[in-house]
Amino acid sequence: MSQPSTPRSWVISANGHSDFPLQNLPFGVFSVGDSSARAGVAIGEHIFDLQAAADFFQGEALRAVQAMAGGQLNSFFALGRGPRVALRERLLDLLSEHSNHRFELEGMGANLLPLAAHCQLHLPARINDYTDFYVGIAHAQNVGKLFRPDSPLLPNYKHVPIGYHGRASTIRPSGTPVIRPKGQTLPAGASQPVFGPCARLDFELELGIWIGQGNALGEAIDIAEAGEHIAGFCLLNDWSARDVQAWEYQPLGPFLSKSFITSISPWVVTAEAMAPFRLAQPARPPGDPQPLDYLLDTHDQTNGALDIELEVLLSSAAMRDQQLPPMRLSLSSTRHMYWTVAQMVAHHSVNGCQLQAGDLLGSGTLSGPEAGQFGSLLEITDGGTRSIDLPSGETRTFLEDGDEVIFTARCSREGFASIGLGECRGRVMPAR
Protein backbone atom coordinates (compact mmCIF):
# COMPACT_ATOMS: atom_id res chain seq x y z
CA MET A 1 0.00 0.00 0.00
CA SER A 2 1.44 3.35 -0.96
CA GLN A 3 2.11 5.79 1.84
CA PRO A 4 0.13 9.00 1.30
CA SER A 5 2.47 11.94 1.17
CA THR A 6 2.29 14.62 3.84
CA PRO A 7 5.21 16.92 2.97
CA ARG A 8 6.99 18.66 5.79
CA SER A 9 8.21 22.23 6.12
CA TRP A 10 11.61 23.65 7.04
CA VAL A 11 9.63 25.82 9.47
CA ILE A 12 9.97 23.24 12.24
CA SER A 13 6.95 24.39 14.27
CA ALA A 14 4.70 23.67 11.27
CA ASN A 15 5.31 19.92 11.31
CA GLY A 16 2.48 18.32 13.26
CA HIS A 17 1.06 21.75 14.15
CA SER A 18 -2.59 21.33 15.10
CA ASP A 19 -3.81 24.32 13.07
CA PHE A 20 -1.19 25.50 10.59
CA PRO A 21 0.96 22.74 9.07
CA LEU A 22 2.37 23.20 5.55
CA GLN A 23 -0.89 21.83 4.09
CA ASN A 24 -3.01 24.68 5.46
CA LEU A 25 -1.36 27.99 4.50
CA PRO A 26 -4.22 30.31 5.52
CA PHE A 27 -4.05 33.98 4.60
CA GLY A 28 -4.46 36.82 7.04
CA VAL A 29 -3.57 40.42 7.80
CA PHE A 30 -1.24 41.39 10.63
CA SER A 31 0.87 44.23 11.97
CA VAL A 32 3.90 44.45 14.20
CA GLY A 33 4.05 47.34 16.64
CA ASP A 34 3.08 50.54 14.88
CA SER A 35 3.79 49.21 11.39
CA SER A 36 0.98 49.26 8.85
CA ALA A 37 -1.11 46.13 8.40
CA ARG A 38 0.08 43.68 5.75
CA ALA A 39 -0.77 40.24 4.44
CA GLY A 40 0.82 37.03 5.62
CA VAL A 41 0.46 33.28 5.76
CA ALA A 42 0.31 31.29 9.00
CA ILE A 43 2.86 28.50 9.09
CA GLY A 44 3.26 26.68 12.43
CA GLU A 45 3.96 29.26 15.12
CA HIS A 46 5.00 31.87 12.56
CA ILE A 47 3.66 34.30 10.01
CA PHE A 48 5.32 34.36 6.62
CA ASP A 49 5.34 37.99 5.48
CA LEU A 50 4.18 37.96 1.85
CA GLN A 51 5.11 41.54 1.02
CA ALA A 52 8.64 41.12 2.38
CA ALA A 53 9.04 37.99 0.24
CA ALA A 54 7.51 39.49 -2.92
CA ASP A 55 10.71 38.84 -4.91
CA PHE A 56 10.08 35.10 -4.65
CA PHE A 57 6.86 35.23 -6.67
CA GLN A 58 6.18 35.48 -10.38
CA GLY A 59 3.20 35.44 -12.73
CA GLU A 60 -0.20 34.69 -11.22
CA ALA A 61 1.26 34.14 -7.75
CA LEU A 62 2.88 37.57 -7.86
CA ARG A 63 -0.41 39.06 -9.05
CA ALA A 64 -2.04 37.54 -5.96
CA VAL A 65 0.59 38.99 -3.61
CA GLN A 66 0.36 42.40 -5.26
CA ALA A 67 -3.43 42.34 -4.82
CA MET A 68 -2.88 42.06 -1.06
CA ALA A 69 -0.96 45.34 -0.85
CA GLY A 70 -2.79 47.76 1.41
CA GLY A 71 -3.41 45.24 4.13
CA GLN A 72 -6.80 43.93 2.99
CA LEU A 73 -7.52 40.75 1.09
CA ASN A 74 -10.57 42.02 -0.87
CA SER A 75 -8.72 42.52 -4.18
CA PHE A 76 -7.00 39.15 -3.72
CA PHE A 77 -10.37 37.49 -3.11
CA ALA A 78 -11.74 39.25 -6.21
CA LEU A 79 -9.07 37.61 -8.40
CA GLY A 80 -10.79 34.28 -7.89
CA ARG A 81 -9.39 30.80 -7.79
CA GLY A 82 -6.55 30.88 -10.38
CA PRO A 83 -4.14 33.33 -8.71
CA ARG A 84 -5.03 31.96 -5.27
CA VAL A 85 -4.06 28.44 -6.34
CA ALA A 86 -0.88 29.69 -8.04
CA LEU A 87 0.14 31.47 -4.82
CA ARG A 88 -0.64 28.40 -2.74
CA GLU A 89 1.42 26.14 -5.05
CA ARG A 90 4.37 28.52 -4.88
CA LEU A 91 4.13 28.74 -1.08
CA LEU A 92 4.00 24.94 -0.81
CA ASP A 93 7.23 24.91 -2.84
CA LEU A 94 8.97 27.75 -0.95
CA LEU A 95 8.11 26.47 2.53
CA SER A 96 8.60 22.71 2.00
CA GLU A 97 11.63 21.11 3.66
CA HIS A 98 13.17 20.42 0.23
CA SER A 99 12.76 24.00 -1.00
CA ASN A 100 15.62 25.32 -3.13
CA HIS A 101 15.02 28.68 -1.49
CA ARG A 102 15.09 27.49 2.09
CA PHE A 103 18.45 28.97 3.05
CA GLU A 104 17.81 32.19 1.21
CA LEU A 105 14.48 32.61 3.02
CA GLU A 106 15.90 31.57 6.38
CA GLY A 107 18.70 34.10 5.90
CA MET A 108 16.10 36.82 5.46
CA GLY A 109 14.74 36.31 8.98
CA ALA A 110 12.38 39.26 8.49
CA ASN A 111 10.13 37.07 6.35
CA LEU A 112 9.16 34.86 9.23
CA LEU A 113 7.69 36.44 12.32
CA PRO A 114 6.74 34.64 15.53
CA LEU A 115 2.95 34.57 15.68
CA ALA A 116 2.41 34.82 19.40
CA ALA A 117 5.19 37.21 20.34
CA HIS A 118 4.27 40.56 18.86
CA CYS A 119 2.08 40.17 15.80
CA GLN A 120 -1.36 41.72 15.99
CA LEU A 121 -3.96 40.07 13.78
CA HIS A 122 -6.63 42.12 12.05
CA LEU A 123 -9.79 41.45 10.08
CA PRO A 124 -8.50 39.93 6.83
CA ALA A 125 -10.78 41.98 4.60
CA ARG A 126 -13.07 44.98 4.56
CA ILE A 127 -16.45 43.37 5.09
CA ASN A 128 -19.11 45.27 3.21
CA ASP A 129 -21.89 42.83 3.91
CA TYR A 130 -22.47 40.06 6.40
CA THR A 131 -25.30 37.56 6.11
CA ASP A 132 -26.18 35.03 8.77
CA PHE A 133 -27.85 31.80 7.67
CA TYR A 134 -29.61 29.19 9.79
CA VAL A 135 -28.53 25.90 8.22
CA GLY A 136 -27.79 23.99 11.43
CA ILE A 137 -30.96 21.94 11.54
CA ALA A 138 -30.43 20.54 15.05
CA HIS A 139 -30.09 24.11 16.36
CA ALA A 140 -33.18 25.21 14.43
CA GLN A 141 -35.12 22.31 15.97
CA ASN A 142 -33.77 22.81 19.50
CA VAL A 143 -34.48 26.55 19.51
CA GLY A 144 -37.75 26.15 17.66
CA LYS A 145 -38.89 23.77 20.40
CA LEU A 146 -38.19 26.42 23.07
CA PHE A 147 -40.16 29.10 21.25
CA ARG A 148 -42.80 26.94 19.51
CA PRO A 149 -43.13 23.49 21.11
CA ASP A 150 -45.88 22.50 18.68
CA SER A 151 -44.00 23.41 15.47
CA PRO A 152 -40.25 23.63 16.03
CA LEU A 153 -39.36 23.88 12.33
CA LEU A 154 -41.36 26.39 10.34
CA PRO A 155 -42.76 25.07 7.04
CA ASN A 156 -40.19 26.92 4.89
CA TYR A 157 -37.08 25.47 6.55
CA LYS A 158 -36.53 22.49 4.27
CA HIS A 159 -37.23 24.52 1.11
CA VAL A 160 -35.32 27.75 1.73
CA PRO A 161 -31.83 28.29 3.19
CA ILE A 162 -33.08 30.79 5.78
CA GLY A 163 -30.94 33.85 6.43
CA TYR A 164 -30.98 37.52 7.35
CA HIS A 165 -28.72 40.49 6.70
CA GLY A 166 -26.44 41.02 9.67
CA ARG A 167 -24.29 43.93 10.77
CA ALA A 168 -20.87 44.12 9.07
CA SER A 169 -19.46 47.09 11.00
CA THR A 170 -19.23 45.22 14.30
CA ILE A 171 -17.34 42.14 13.12
CA ARG A 172 -14.05 41.89 15.00
CA PRO A 173 -11.09 39.50 15.06
CA SER A 174 -10.64 36.92 17.80
CA GLY A 175 -9.48 38.42 21.09
CA THR A 176 -11.57 41.58 20.89
CA PRO A 177 -13.40 42.11 24.22
CA VAL A 178 -17.16 41.58 24.17
CA ILE A 179 -18.90 44.39 26.04
CA ARG A 180 -22.16 43.22 27.53
CA PRO A 181 -24.86 44.98 25.54
CA LYS A 182 -27.74 46.91 27.04
CA GLY A 183 -31.19 46.70 25.64
CA GLN A 184 -34.90 46.48 26.02
CA THR A 185 -36.31 43.25 27.45
CA LEU A 186 -39.63 41.96 28.70
CA PRO A 187 -39.09 40.24 32.07
CA ALA A 188 -41.00 36.98 32.61
CA GLY A 189 -44.57 37.73 33.65
CA ALA A 190 -44.21 41.48 33.08
CA SER A 191 -46.44 43.46 30.76
CA GLN A 192 -44.02 46.38 30.25
CA PRO A 193 -40.42 46.19 29.01
CA VAL A 194 -37.40 47.35 31.00
CA PHE A 195 -34.01 48.69 29.89
CA GLY A 196 -30.66 47.47 31.17
CA PRO A 197 -27.68 45.17 30.66
CA CYS A 198 -28.41 41.89 28.89
CA ALA A 199 -28.95 39.12 31.46
CA ARG A 200 -28.94 36.22 28.98
CA LEU A 201 -25.74 36.67 27.01
CA ASP A 202 -24.93 33.71 24.77
CA PHE A 203 -22.58 32.53 22.03
CA GLU A 204 -23.40 30.84 18.72
CA LEU A 205 -20.94 28.38 17.21
CA GLU A 206 -20.81 29.05 13.46
CA LEU A 207 -18.70 28.56 10.38
CA GLY A 208 -17.81 31.74 8.48
CA ILE A 209 -17.61 31.67 4.68
CA TRP A 210 -15.57 34.30 2.80
CA ILE A 211 -16.88 35.32 -0.59
CA GLY A 212 -14.23 35.44 -3.33
CA GLN A 213 -15.27 36.71 -6.74
CA GLY A 214 -18.61 38.47 -6.58
CA ASN A 215 -21.42 38.69 -9.12
CA ALA A 216 -22.95 41.55 -11.03
CA LEU A 217 -26.24 43.03 -9.86
CA GLY A 218 -29.08 41.06 -11.42
CA GLU A 219 -26.96 38.01 -12.29
CA ALA A 220 -27.48 34.96 -10.11
CA ILE A 221 -24.58 32.64 -9.28
CA ASP A 222 -25.37 29.18 -10.64
CA ILE A 223 -24.98 26.52 -7.97
CA ALA A 224 -22.50 24.64 -10.18
CA GLU A 225 -20.32 27.78 -10.16
CA ALA A 226 -20.79 28.61 -6.48
CA GLY A 227 -17.50 27.02 -5.44
CA GLU A 228 -15.67 29.49 -7.68
CA HIS A 229 -17.06 32.30 -5.54
CA ILE A 230 -15.93 30.95 -2.15
CA ALA A 231 -12.46 32.07 -1.06
CA GLY A 232 -12.25 30.34 2.29
CA PHE A 233 -13.52 29.69 5.78
CA CYS A 234 -13.18 30.85 9.38
CA LEU A 235 -14.83 30.34 12.76
CA LEU A 236 -17.55 32.78 13.74
CA ASN A 237 -19.17 33.57 17.09
CA ASP A 238 -22.53 35.25 16.63
CA TRP A 239 -22.79 36.62 20.19
CA SER A 240 -26.46 36.87 21.11
CA ALA A 241 -28.47 38.74 23.75
CA ARG A 242 -31.26 36.19 24.24
CA ASP A 243 -33.49 38.37 26.43
CA VAL A 244 -33.29 41.23 23.93
CA GLN A 245 -33.83 38.78 21.07
CA ALA A 246 -36.94 37.20 22.60
CA TRP A 247 -38.63 40.60 22.87
CA GLU A 248 -37.54 42.17 19.58
CA TYR A 249 -37.47 39.31 17.07
CA GLN A 250 -41.06 39.30 15.88
CA PRO A 251 -41.98 39.90 13.12
CA LEU A 252 -38.69 40.81 11.36
CA GLY A 253 -36.08 38.72 13.15
CA PRO A 254 -32.94 39.57 15.15
CA PHE A 255 -31.78 43.19 15.33
CA LEU A 256 -29.91 44.67 18.33
CA SER A 257 -29.65 41.26 20.00
CA LYS A 258 -26.99 40.31 17.43
CA SER A 259 -25.46 43.51 16.13
CA PHE A 260 -23.29 44.51 19.12
CA ILE A 261 -20.35 42.30 18.06
CA THR A 262 -19.55 39.22 15.97
CA SER A 263 -16.14 37.58 16.46
CA ILE A 264 -14.22 35.65 13.81
CA SER A 265 -10.98 33.69 13.68
CA PRO A 266 -8.62 35.91 11.70
CA TRP A 267 -7.15 33.37 9.25
CA VAL A 268 -8.79 32.59 5.92
CA VAL A 269 -8.47 28.83 5.42
CA THR A 270 -8.76 28.50 1.66
CA ALA A 271 -11.16 26.32 -0.25
CA GLU A 272 -8.05 24.50 -1.56
CA ALA A 273 -6.76 23.67 1.94
CA MET A 274 -10.25 22.41 2.78
CA ALA A 275 -10.52 20.19 -0.31
CA PRO A 276 -9.47 16.93 1.42
CA PHE A 277 -12.16 17.45 4.04
CA ARG A 278 -15.15 17.54 1.72
CA LEU A 279 -17.94 15.01 2.07
CA ALA A 280 -21.17 14.04 0.39
CA GLN A 281 -24.13 16.00 1.71
CA PRO A 282 -26.10 13.50 3.84
CA ALA A 283 -29.21 12.14 2.14
CA ARG A 284 -32.34 13.92 3.26
CA PRO A 285 -34.57 11.81 5.52
CA PRO A 286 -37.56 10.16 3.82
CA GLY A 287 -40.42 12.62 3.53
CA ASP A 288 -38.19 15.71 3.24
CA PRO A 289 -38.66 17.72 0.03
CA GLN A 290 -35.99 17.70 -2.67
CA PRO A 291 -34.32 21.08 -3.11
CA LEU A 292 -35.63 23.13 -6.03
CA ASP A 293 -33.51 22.90 -9.18
CA TYR A 294 -31.55 26.09 -8.55
CA LEU A 295 -30.35 24.58 -5.25
CA LEU A 296 -29.54 21.14 -6.60
CA ASP A 297 -26.24 20.16 -8.20
CA THR A 298 -24.90 16.63 -8.44
CA HIS A 299 -21.31 17.53 -7.67
CA ASP A 300 -22.41 19.65 -4.72
CA GLN A 301 -24.50 16.79 -3.36
CA THR A 302 -21.62 14.30 -3.65
CA ASN A 303 -18.80 16.63 -2.54
CA GLY A 304 -20.25 19.84 -1.10
CA ALA A 305 -20.44 19.13 2.63
CA LEU A 306 -17.58 19.84 5.04
CA ASP A 307 -16.05 17.64 7.73
CA ILE A 308 -14.85 20.08 10.38
CA GLU A 309 -14.96 19.17 14.05
CA LEU A 310 -15.90 22.19 16.14
CA GLU A 311 -15.19 22.67 19.82
CA VAL A 312 -16.46 25.23 22.34
CA LEU A 313 -14.49 25.92 25.50
CA LEU A 314 -15.39 28.16 28.44
CA SER A 315 -13.10 29.75 30.99
CA SER A 316 -14.39 31.92 33.84
CA ALA A 317 -12.35 34.50 35.74
CA ALA A 318 -12.41 32.23 38.81
CA MET A 319 -11.21 29.28 36.71
CA ARG A 320 -8.29 31.35 35.44
CA ASP A 321 -7.51 32.53 39.00
CA GLN A 322 -7.41 28.88 40.10
CA GLN A 323 -5.32 28.03 37.03
CA LEU A 324 -7.95 25.59 35.82
CA PRO A 325 -7.93 24.87 32.08
CA PRO A 326 -10.91 25.93 29.97
CA MET A 327 -13.83 23.52 30.15
CA ARG A 328 -15.32 21.92 27.06
CA LEU A 329 -18.95 22.89 26.56
CA SER A 330 -19.51 21.29 23.21
CA LEU A 331 -18.03 19.16 20.46
CA SER A 332 -19.94 19.55 17.22
CA SER A 333 -19.34 19.40 13.49
CA THR A 334 -20.10 21.07 10.19
CA ARG A 335 -21.69 17.73 9.26
CA HIS A 336 -24.89 19.07 10.81
CA MET A 337 -25.58 21.55 8.01
CA TYR A 338 -28.91 20.95 6.25
CA TRP A 339 -27.77 23.17 3.34
CA THR A 340 -24.29 23.28 1.76
CA VAL A 341 -22.24 26.44 1.41
CA ALA A 342 -22.83 26.32 -2.36
CA GLN A 343 -26.58 26.24 -1.74
CA MET A 344 -26.23 29.31 0.50
CA VAL A 345 -24.33 31.21 -2.21
CA ALA A 346 -26.76 30.16 -4.96
CA HIS A 347 -29.76 31.08 -2.85
CA HIS A 348 -28.30 34.41 -1.69
CA SER A 349 -27.79 35.56 -5.29
CA VAL A 350 -30.79 33.92 -6.99
CA ASN A 351 -32.81 37.15 -6.88
CA GLY A 352 -29.94 39.07 -8.45
CA CYS A 353 -28.46 40.26 -5.14
CA GLN A 354 -24.85 41.27 -5.65
CA LEU A 355 -22.24 39.50 -3.54
CA GLN A 356 -18.84 41.18 -3.33
CA ALA A 357 -15.33 40.01 -2.59
CA GLY A 358 -14.87 40.02 1.17
CA ASP A 359 -18.52 39.55 2.03
CA LEU A 360 -18.92 37.18 4.95
CA LEU A 361 -21.60 34.53 5.41
CA GLY A 362 -22.33 32.82 8.72
CA SER A 363 -23.65 29.26 8.62
CA GLY A 364 -25.99 29.59 11.56
CA THR A 365 -25.38 27.76 14.82
CA LEU A 366 -23.96 24.29 14.21
CA SER A 367 -25.33 22.07 16.94
CA GLY A 368 -25.44 18.31 16.80
CA PRO A 369 -28.57 16.40 17.81
CA GLU A 370 -27.15 15.04 21.10
CA ALA A 371 -26.30 16.62 24.46
CA GLY A 372 -22.64 17.65 24.41
CA GLN A 373 -22.99 18.80 20.80
CA PHE A 374 -24.98 22.01 21.29
CA GLY A 375 -23.61 25.24 19.85
CA SER A 376 -25.25 27.74 22.22
CA LEU A 377 -26.00 28.06 25.94
CA LEU A 378 -29.66 28.48 25.06
CA GLU A 379 -29.63 24.83 24.00
CA ILE A 380 -27.11 23.54 26.58
CA THR A 381 -29.16 24.96 29.49
CA ASP A 382 -32.54 24.29 27.89
CA GLY A 383 -33.52 27.91 27.68
CA GLY A 384 -31.76 28.80 30.94
CA THR A 385 -33.70 26.26 33.02
CA ARG A 386 -30.77 23.90 33.75
CA SER A 387 -27.46 25.31 34.96
CA ILE A 388 -24.08 23.81 34.17
CA ASP A 389 -21.38 23.20 36.76
CA LEU A 390 -17.94 24.69 36.23
CA PRO A 391 -14.80 23.07 37.72
CA SER A 392 -14.37 26.18 39.92
CA GLY A 393 -17.59 25.33 41.79
CA GLU A 394 -19.51 28.07 39.93
CA THR A 395 -22.61 27.46 37.88
CA ARG A 396 -23.80 29.04 34.64
CA THR A 397 -26.94 29.38 32.63
CA PHE A 398 -25.74 32.30 30.49
CA LEU A 399 -22.40 34.14 30.27
CA GLU A 400 -21.12 36.21 33.21
CA ASP A 401 -18.66 39.09 33.03
CA GLY A 402 -15.13 37.71 32.79
CA ASP A 403 -16.20 34.54 30.98
CA GLU A 404 -14.15 33.72 27.92
CA VAL A 405 -15.55 31.60 25.09
CA ILE A 406 -13.07 29.87 22.80
CA PHE A 407 -13.91 28.09 19.54
CA THR A 408 -11.44 25.79 17.83
CA ALA A 409 -11.79 23.50 14.83
CA ARG A 410 -10.13 20.40 13.47
CA CYS A 411 -10.18 18.81 10.02
CA SER A 412 -8.85 15.25 10.00
CA ARG A 413 -8.80 12.50 7.44
CA GLU A 414 -6.76 9.33 7.19
CA GLY A 415 -3.76 9.91 4.92
CA PHE A 416 -3.87 13.71 5.13
CA ALA A 417 -2.26 16.19 7.49
CA SER A 418 -4.84 17.55 9.94
CA ILE A 419 -5.47 21.26 9.81
CA GLY A 420 -7.35 23.74 12.00
CA LEU A 421 -8.97 27.14 11.57
CA GLY A 422 -7.17 28.92 14.41
CA GLU A 423 -8.99 30.28 17.43
CA CYS A 424 -12.06 32.45 17.80
CA ARG A 425 -11.92 33.82 21.32
CA GLY A 426 -13.76 36.55 23.19
CA ARG A 427 -14.01 37.64 26.82
CA VAL A 428 -17.12 39.25 28.25
CA MET A 429 -16.62 42.69 29.80
CA PRO A 430 -19.15 44.51 32.02
CA ALA A 431 -21.80 46.69 30.39
CA ARG A 432 -20.84 50.34 30.07
**Active-site residue list:** 139
C-alpha distances in Å from residue 391, one per residue of 313, 316, 381: 13, 10, 17
Nearer to Ca ion, 44 or 166 (CB): 166
Query: How many angstroms separate the first and last alpha carbons of the chain?
Result: 62
Is residue 118 within 8 A of residue 60, CB to CB? The reply is no
Provide, rounded to whole angstroms, the least separation between the CB of residue 131 and Ca ion. Answer: 10
Is residue 306 within 8 A of residue 278, CB to CB? The reply is yes
Provide, rounded to whole angstroms, the least separation between the CB of residue 260 and Ca ion. Answer: 13
d(CA 244, CA 180): 12
Q: How many CB atoms lie within 10 A of CB 325?
A: 10
Q: What are phi and psi of 112, to 5 degrees?
A: -120, 110
Provide, rounded to whole angstroms, the least separation between the CB of residue 339 and Ca ion. Answer: 14
Nearer to Ca ion, 96 or 262 (CB): 262
Provide, rounded to whole angstroms, the least separation between the CB of residue 273 and Ca ion. Answer: 25
Q: Which stretches of the chain bind Ca ion, using CB under 5 A?
A: 132, 204, 238
C-alpha distances in Å from residue 11, one per residue of 22, 96, 107, 114, 118: 9, 8, 13, 11, 18
Provide, rounded to whole angstroms, the least separation between the CB of residue 111 and Ca ion. Answer: 38
Nearer to Ca ion, 132 or 311 (CB): 132
Is residue 164 within 8 A of residue 254, CB to CB? The reply is yes
Of 240, 273, 315, the C-alpha closest to 422 is 273
Is residue 268 within 8 A of residue 232, CB to CB? The reply is yes
Instruction: Return the residue nearest Ca ion (CB atom).
Output: 238
Nearer to Ca ion, 74 or 237 (CB): 237
Nearer to Ca ion, 238 or 248 (CB): 238
d(CA 245, CA 200): 10
Of 254, 366, 360, 251, the C-alpha closest to 307 is 366
Provide, rounded to whole angstroms, the least separation between the CB of residue 328 and Ca ion. Answer: 21
| Beta pairing partners, 279 | 305
Nearer to Ca ion, 237 or 397 (CB): 237
